[in-house]
Structure 1
Amino acid sequence: MKLKHLLASATLGLATMAVAQDDPLTVGFVYVGPVGDGGWTYEHNQGRLAVEEHFGDAVETVFVESVPEGPDAVRVMQQMALNGADLIFTTSFGYMDQTIEVASQFPDVMFEHATGYKRTDNVGTYSARFYEGRAVQGHIAGQMTESNIIGYIGSFPIPEVIRGINAAYIHAQEVNPDVEFKIVWVYTWFDPAKEAEAARTLIDQGADVILQHTDSTAPQAAAAEAGNVYTFGQASDMAEFAPMPRISSIIDNWAPYYIDRVQAVIDGTWESDDTWDGIGPGMVGIGEMTDAIPEEIRASATALKDSIAAGEYHPFTGPLNKQDGSVWLEEGETADDGTLLGMNFYVEGITGDIPQ
């Protein structure tokens, strides 16, 4: 696998040192999928391009796409560091341990790991509150379904994905008590063939609305072939499938974060930190709600989005029970971040088991 736009540059001596004005910073990005996936990796790459545009000649970027979560990731990160990367963003949950390993070998290089929770002096973490967008999607989906069956394509049964399923179900069930979720796990972030097959399976099971936590547009294409099935864009707008079947989307906006963290390195102010932002700060966006959604549903979904953004409403607000009927949140109680970050249970009403 070859580095794209591989550039050599001297590393920073220490994380606390500011980069000289005439010494360009080299920033690396490690991607789990191809930059053309139309979803997760596409949006991270848009952030990289925004860094290039913002800083001009002061920053050079490198990236490697389609890096498996395993030993290959270690080799790619090591090669980036050896070739002069001063700051490296590793953009998938499964890179967590590899990022920590390589960071220990290159203490003068700064690392940022997306969606993970392990930090060291030279490893920071960042993620987005995708569950806020899932709540808005569920609110729309629960009112758009006629079969009362909503399909959900899950990637891996990690807390991030489980949170999204729960948030979508809670808000679908709130507007439609008869709604049922059917979940298919594909154990991949990006595999168009598997994603399309999962979508077709859900459609065969009666789903007329499909949500996904996978990265390609294949479920959108499968829904378009089936007809009369609604979908939502994942990570990016996927607007090529609007106004049908893609009726709205969750958009991951990484550019402001990437620009801020690169600037911190240049200024010599970078420190290991954890960032978890949502709709309010703009890290999570809601794509255009097309005219396929009735006006009153668009209005109520917009009101929900605005209340989340303003901090007036938390998508996990009690009363809520766990799947087994035990009380999780009392009336008016909201979930704490620790529980959300480690979420390993479904809420009451979702059938089936979480794979182990």
Structure 2
Amino acid sequence: LFEDLKFSDIVFNVRGRQFKAHKNILATRSKFFNAMFEHPTKENLTNLIEVEDVEPAVFHEILRFIYTGKVSESTMGKMCVGILAATDKYLLDQLKMECETHIIHRMSVENCLELLLNTHEHHPAFHLRQYAVEFFRNFSSKVMATKDWEKAKKDDPEKCFSVLQDLVKSLCLVNGNLTINCVIESLIQKIPETLSKKLCIEADLDEKLFSNSDQLVAAELGELFETMKFSDIIFNVRGREFPAHKSILVARSKYFDAMFEHPTKENLTNLIEVEDVEPVVFHEILRFIYTGKVSESTMERMPAGILAVADKYLLDQLKMECETQLTHRMSAENCLELLLNTHEQHPAFHLRKYAVKFFRQFSGEVMVTDGWK
């Protein structure tokens, strides 16, 4: 969905470069955009948002995070400070915390320079300058050998001089005491225990970086499923209406992708009539489309019905999970549903043999169910 942005309904003009997006995704993932689209703001009415205080490259990564919950490690290494400032603006607390963690534990030459040269007292990353000064102190030759440092010396020598003053202060005077830093060479290299622990911690941080992002995205899409804010399509399922979002449907189902790719009746009227699915089954199908999950209790009660609809809407993952449920976790209810409601054209017909086997072994349990009676 992030790559093709079908059915986008808002455009960002970021310093002349345009980015398309979906209001429902933005509002779900960011309190900033939720507040913007909750009211008749200029941006909400015109479907255009002007952005002058964020670099296009940084904004592209912010948008990627909003849609996927992820930012690459290489991107964090190059523009972490700029991303942090944008996350502060758009109230993306999870990404802001991850940027701060990255800066503190995995400072890079690029991040160090950006912190030293471009942050001020009101910048969201200003409190992290101390880590940049420490990094500069330890790796000053690498920092000063970069093209960015050379460019800064030409464009803003006063700022560079101020950075060097900070460096000198950190090198020499700490609480009024003179500190001399020197390198002691040894023929036998040993890794101090504290450094070893630090390396282990940093490796662990690499493992955990963005580890909660997938869960966060899933939770927020679950919230979107519950509220259906900015829905643009209605399903009428045997008289019961279900609102939804074309963008989500298209991203998750080839069936809906094909439907909305062309000027079909459903696409033009924003109404889909569904007569061959039970409303309770359709509700669970919609839940899966938004969250990727169906509860275990639901799978126990109606896997054959869900499988048939998953087959119709080309939801291969859900269809496979239903088949697994029916073959490996058969219940009296599932068995009865397969035996009574499947025919040769039913997508679950090939699983009837498992129901027959189950009935043969547990006929007593099946025949006392409400369905059998």
State if a TM-score over 0.5 links the two structures: no
In terms of fraction of residues, the more helix-rich structure is 2
**TM-score grouping bracket, smaller chain normalisation:** under 0.3
TM-score by length of 2: 0.21
In terms of fraction of residues, the more strand-rich structure is 1
Larger radius of gyration: 2
